[in-house]
Amino acid sequence: MQTPPTPAVQDDPEYADNLRRATLASSIGSALEYFDFALYGLATALIFNVLFFPQDDPAMATVAAFATFGVGFVARPFGGLVFGVLGDKLGRKLVLVITITLMGGASTLIGVLPTYDQIGLWAPALLVVLRLLQGFGAGAEQAGATVLMAEYAPIRRRGFFSALPFIGIQAGTLLAAVVFSLLTLLPEEALMTWGWRVPFLCSFVLIVLAVVIRSRLRETPTFVELEKQDQVAEKPVRELFRTGFPGVLVGIGLRMAENGGSYMFQTLALSFFVAVVGSDADKGILTWGVTLGALIGIVTTPLSGALSDRFGRRAVYRFGAVFLLVYSLPAWWALTLGNPYLAVAVVAIGLGIAVNSMLGPQCAMLPELFGSRHRYLGVAMAREISAVLAGGLGGVLGAYLIAVTDANWLVIGLYMTGLAAITTVSTFLVPETLRRDLTRTDDAVKISPAEAGDDVWLSGSQPVAAGRAAAATTFAAARADRGGGRDREDALR
């Protein structure tokens, strides 16, 4: 005799309300992080290199400015480690309130910093300190938003719902590009004295809004179940490095093209274009490429997430990686032509299609790689170590290569091609995680069959019946404990 189907959890007003609140809370955090980081990246090539560093050698001043940009990436893994542990021990909600406050507060203070002409070497030193704090908070912000939405989302539409908050990434990038484009319309003196400070100071508004929303958010159902079953990890770092490190390595590989490509198109392309065209270049023109890329990403990010619910995470992710692999060399060559409209199109396509078609499936895929006891930490480490290697190093190394090779497009193009190749290979190493049960405490990427036991994940496979039966038992117990069928995973299964 079959059990009557449980009503869809979307029909539960309480669950639907919490899902909307989680989406909004994650989106605002994503918007703030990428508004700050995109704005900082745009300002690095045109503002910070002039105001915060000596001008004896302008090219090296630009390299130094990009080094401070990279410092933020260096801090991110440490923030991911600290807050990832707290997120797995104390819950997702509390950590997300802390990270948004730290990250946004540091960004606001950048807007009041004195310049090199005012306080000398203290200016770049203070800029580095605030950049470190910004990166430390951001180190767990995106991991937390990713885990939060994956654990809240309906299982059959997890790719779509997990990608929705990352529209905040596009919104933040779009807002930063528009604001910076408008700032470049100011007279040079106004821009370099007070104009550039305004958007950093405005970060405070987003902080207040995000903290209010997140303080009203309920803890994720997955973490609540961990607490009820008394399974919260006491030492998530030890667990992660004992069983979850293969997942971290694969996650790093998956992120190299997405993260590196994003920051290279957003920041390095502007410096490259100015170096090729010369001082007569319209310094604000490529920000419109970032703007158009963000507009395209508002569609392609949730669309690719939804496609991953139908065709699998790996197939959609691989499409984006291969697209960037083929696109890299022609893109950087096209920038050397000096045509501003072509340059805008190059950046827009690179960001809107190549990068964001990987970001969509990634939002669900990374949380699905890790067990529930160390999921926050695992996602944070995969995201932030890759951010250092691809994003931070990409800016510094790219700026240096532009300076020493006289803006040789082939060198920069080959660098991006290498990042895309790493990610393409990684899509063949990761198992298919579509519809994986997020209450499971084991990882999707196993060290070996002997260590994994009977429930072994192979490339393109689903877990064996033993693991499914165990998960079903857990859900049944949780449903009985609540007395009434509100478990979203069980309802959609």
Q: Quickly count: other Cβ atoms within 10 Å of residue 215's Cβ.
A: 12
Specify if 65 maps to a domain: yes
Nearest to 177 by CA among 261, 71, 293: 293
Query: How much is the pTM?
Result: 0.75
- pLDDT averaged over every residue in the chain: 79
Alpha carbon distance 51, 31 (integer Å): 26
Alpha carbon distance 448, 443 (integer Å): 12
Domain that holds residue 422: 13-492
Specify if 418 maps to a domain: yes
Calculate mean pLDDT across residues 220-234: 79
Alpha carbon distance 224, 128 (integer Å): 39
Question: Taking 60 as the threshold, does the pLDDT of residue 93 lie above it?
Answer: yes
Alpha carbon distance 30, 473 (integer Å): 36
Calculate mean pLDDT across residues 139-154: 84
Question: Taking 80 as the threshold, does the pLDDT of residue 491 lie above it?
Answer: no
Predicted confidence band of residue 318 (pLDDT cuts 50, 70, 90): very high
| Of 385 and 287, more confident | 385
Alpha carbon distance 158, 305 (integer Å): 8
Alpha carbon distance 53, 50 (integer Å): 6
Specify if 1 maps to a domain: no
Alpha carbon distance 474, 457 (integer Å): 20
| Of 282 and 132, more confident | 132
Task: State pLDDT tens for residues 393-431.
Answer: 776 787 788 888 888 889 989 999 999 999 999 999 999
For the record, the structure tokens of 214 come out as: 């997140």
The count of domains in the chain is 1
Predicted confidence band of residue 248 (pLDDT cuts 50, 70, 90): very high
Specify if 5 maps to a domain: no
| Of 58 and 189, more confident | 189
Question: Taking 90 as the threshold, does the pLDDT of residue 237 lie above it?
Answer: no
For the record, the structure tokens of 448 come out as: 């070996």
For the record, the structure tokens of 276 come out as: 């090729």
Specify if 92 maps to a domain: yes
Nearest to 255 by CA among 345, 363, 353, 158: 363
CA 403 to chain centre: 28
For the record, the structure tokens of 327 come out as: 């696109």
Calculate mean pLDDT across residues 190-215: 82
Specify if 164 maps to a domain: yes
Specify if 233 maps to a domain: yes
Residue 150 in contact with residue 351, Cβ under 8 Å? no
Alpha carbon distance 442, 244 (integer Å): 8
Please tell me the least confidently modeled range out of 10-14, 107-111, 397-401: 10-14
Sign of CA dihedral 74, 393, 36, 380: negative
Domain containing residue 102: CATH number: 1.20.1250.20
Specify if 453 maps to a domain: yes
Scan for tokens 């340059």, then name that residue.
343
